[in-house]
Amino acid sequence: MIPLPGYLLAKTAPRVITTKGGHERALAIVESLIQKGERNMTPEEDALLDLLTNLIRDYEATAYPPRKKSAPREMLAFLLQRRGLLPRDLWFVIGSKSRVSEILAGKCSISKGQAKKLAEFFHVGVELFI
């Protein structure tokens, strides 16, 4: 990695990002470097861009962790609610009243065949129910 000259370090003072304000500041510097254009950047500015990008990535990984995937039965319950449907609306899709109740209660899982039928019924990807 190319060492950064003192004036560039003094001007930007790159450091580990721990606050939203520090994040916004780093983003603004990165934006200004990108606007300058790759061809117009000095090697030191390119190194600074790389450093800030890594610092931003590290901050965002801890500040905005990825959401965990919802359980298939939770997704099913959510879709029922959002579409104003009742469990009985799934009886013909799943096959029986008791099976729908068992799935929604978490007593049994959704089979691959049922997942495919649910995906077709709700017009969503089958991966939501697997």
Chain segment 75-111, per-residue pLDDT in tens = 999 999 999 999 999 999 998 899 999 999 999 999 9
pLDDT at 92: 92
- The pTM assigned to this predicted structure is 0.51
Domain edges within the chain: 6-63, 72-129
Provide the mean pLDDT of the chain: 89
Distances (CA, A) of 87 to 12, 44, 54, 127: 58, 62, 47, 20
CA 83, CA 45: separation in Å to the nearest integer? Answer: 52
pLDDT-derived band at 4 (thresholds 50, 70, 90) equals low
HSE, CB side, 13 Å, CA atoms: give it for residue 129.
Answer: 26
Answer yes or no: are the C-beta atoms of 76 and 83 closer than 8 Å: no
Q: If you average pLDDT over residues 25-43, what whole number do you get?
A: 88
Query: 72-129: which CATH number, 1.10.3290, 1.20.140, 1.10.3470, 1.10.260?
Result: 1.10.260
Exposed/middle/buried for residue 81 (C-beta within 10 Å: 0-12, 13-18, 19+): exposed
27, 60, 71, 128 from 14: Cα distances, Å:
11, 16, 41, 41
| pLDDT score of 37 | 83
Alpha helices in the chain (DSSP H): 6-12, 20-36, 43-63, 72-82, 91-94, 97-105, 112-122
| Distance from C-alpha of 41 to C-alpha of 46, rounded to nearest angstrom | 6
